[in-house]
Amino acid sequence: MNDALLAAVRGGVRAYDLSRPYEIGMPQSPNHPAYWHSLPRRHGDMVREDGSSGANDVIVMGTHVGTHIDALAHVSQDGRLYGGHDAVEASVGGRFSKLGIDTVPPILTRGILLDVPAALGLDACEAAYEITPDDLDRCLERQSVTPEAGDVLLVRSGWGARWSEGTPYIGKDSGVPGVGEAGAQWLASHQPLAAGADSIAFEQLQPGKGHATLPAHRVLLVENGINIIETMNLEEIAADGVVEFTFVGVPLPLVGATGSPIRPLAVVTTDGAGR
């Protein structure tokens, strides 16, 4: 490692953690198995001759709980996955032979934060607000940045500030702000490697409708082959005014799975430059 790179790693960069902590009872979609953590072996259950002991864990969870990334196999339309693959045939044997999360390599690329409330002069978007292409264009104009193919685009609605409230964050009755079909098409037009947001479902949810329809998932996953990252923590990076950064995200290589936990990072140099 050369001296300049070593200096950067040791103190010349800052990494923003864009993930949420995994803990029992955290807010999540009711469509997926909940997170559970227990200690089958505790310190003192078995003590070695030298007085030492070890503890271990069992974790049970769905792959779409907490901060996670959707594989392209996660959603189908009219029986077809991205690229026209038959969704049923691809899942024969209990796991996906095509487009599983294990096919997504570690992500290291430029990231852009699209801070919608800031562009609209708000602290946060209202419940069920649909983020439009015009809103996203206003973000780019305000931030003086131009997306390039292969970037990761992160959409902040401000809804993430409600994470600590628990159930209200899910937005079952109120709805949740996010992009709709048109906003997803806007994102896809910039050919990002992935797109993320600060809500459970990534996209707009209507009051009382839950996950009845998810057109943005269809547009991104099925029609354009763009992975989706959900339940992100975008509050700190937005508060610091960081809009361009190096994005690092590594899914677990869960063979044939429809998603994976992920701990995304936004890395910036100490002078604020992302690359």
**Domain regions of the chain by residue span:** 3-20+63-269
Across the range 220-248, mean pLDDT stands at 98
Query: DSSP strand E in the chain: where?
Result: 13-17, 36-41, 56-60, 68-70, 107-115, 130-131, 152-156, 178-179, 194-197, 227-230, 244-249, 259-261, 265-269
Q: And the tokens for 124? A: 């946060």
pLDDT band at 42 (very low <50, low <70, confident <90, very high): very high
At 158-180, the pLDDT tens digits run 999 999 999 999 999 999 999 99
At 195-219, the pLDDT tens digits run 999 999 999 999 988 777 899 999 9
What pTM value is reported for the model? 0.94
CATH node for 3-20+63-269: 3.50.30.50
DSSP 216-232: HHIIIIIIT--EEEES-
Task: Provide CB contacts within 8 A for 213, sequence distance 6+.
Answer: none
Phi, psi of 158, rounded to the nearest 5 degrees? 90, -10
Q: And the tokens for 63? A: 């792959």
